[in-house]
Structure 1
Amino acid sequence: MIFEAIDINKHRDTVVGFRKDSFYVSFGDTMGFGEEEEYLSWLDEKIRDFPEGFVLAKEDGKYIGQLELTIREYEGNNIGYVNLYFLTPEMRGKGKGKVLHQYAKQFFKNNEVREYHLRVSPSNNHAIKFYRSSGMDEVGPEVDGKVIRMKGYI
């Protein structure tokens, strides 16, 4: 697996499609996705701040996944934040998530953060199981129970 920096002009359809699919898997629909242009504008801004944190995973010449990683403040400390872990449906359950997770941990280590967080839908049992097996713990529910915050350490 190789990681390729996201270029919005080149990868627009891929990143929008992957992000929408992540909403569908997490929440059963894409209602919470919002407007494509808003997402692309946010993505463009974050890529400028964290270029190594926004990558597509590629295998055998095909895009199979996406990572969106940032550094943000949480309760007075800088933490790593996983905005998106994504694998295409045919790549799920084949150990590819471990490669994405290793990339994320290395990104956070390179940016000198020791703790990282993410949010996951409480109905996304497969993802929760993966995060737990990767050493992450539940912090608790957020956004009126629509998501669970999880954290891990480098």
Structure 2
Amino acid sequence: MTNLILKPTRIDPYPEFTLASHRDAWRLNHGSDAGFDEQQTLAWLGALTRQRPHGLLHLWHHQCPIGQLELDPAMIHRDGSQEGYIYLLYLVPEWRGRGLGRWLLEQALQRIRAAGSSSAAMRYLPRNRGAERFCLRQGWRQEGPVDERGQLLVKPLTPLSSLHSHT
């Protein structure tokens, strides 16, 4: 992927792109802008970047942002297990269908593995059939029932630390 760079950011330098990404993702998941809350989204992004300085990343092509990734590579569960979570994987419409979604997802999984997580999770809303097909083709599996937050997807991973210890 030439001329592409994925780099951590904060909401304040690029609020227009970041909010537009969330608005478009909302539209894909809900069918319209109805219910999209810009202030709630800004609050979420502020909290994410305070708690996880590398949790908000923009994908750049030359000097233009074309994608967004939001994740927590190392969520600790009550039972002590650690899992990465992808909150948003987004590409602007004109960059979809070129293999960048797979590339961006692999970038997320590399960060999750590097953090030592043994699995990754994310959700999609059943209305978003494109997201469902994409994730299932990438080896994610559905877990549990669909609820108000959508369908949970999980993917077992081998953390990078485990891969290196066998060499």
TM-score (norm 1): 0.89
Verify: 1:118 aligned to 2:126, yes or no. no
For 1:39, the equivalent position in structure 2 comes to 41
Larger CA Rg, structure 1 vs 2: 2
Q: Report % sequence identity.
A: 26
Return 5+ residue gaps in structure 2 as ranges: 158-167
For 1:58, the equivalent position in structure 2 comes to 60
Q: Aligned runs of 1:51-90 on 2, under 5 Å?
A: 51-70=53-72, 71-74=74-77, 76=79, 77-90=81-94
Deviation sequence 1:104-150 (CA, Å, 0-9, x none): 01110121101111110112111111111111001133324x61110
For 1:11, the equivalent position in structure 2 comes to 14
> Conserved in 1, the CA contact under 8 Å of 2:71 and 2:85?
yes
2:112 to 101, 108, 114: 108
> Conserved in 1, the CA contact under 8 Å of 2:71 and 2:86?
yes
Q: Judging changes above 3 Å, is the alpha-carbon distance between structure 1 residues 74 and 125 closer, same or farther for their aligned structure 2 residues? A: farther
Return 5+ residue gaps in structure 1 as ranges: none
CA–CA distance in 1 between the matches of 2:35 and 2:77?
23
Higher deviation after alignment, 40-49 or 59-68: 40-49
Q: Offset at 1:75?
A: 6.4
Q: Judging changes above 3 Å, is the alpha-carbon distance between structure 1 residues 32 and 111 closer, same or farther for their aligned structure 2 residues? A: farther
Query: Greater share of helix residues, 1 or 2?
Result: 1
For 1:25, the equivalent position in structure 2 comes to 28
Look up the equivalent residue of 1:24 and give its one-letter code: R
**Runs (4+) off by over 4 Å:** none
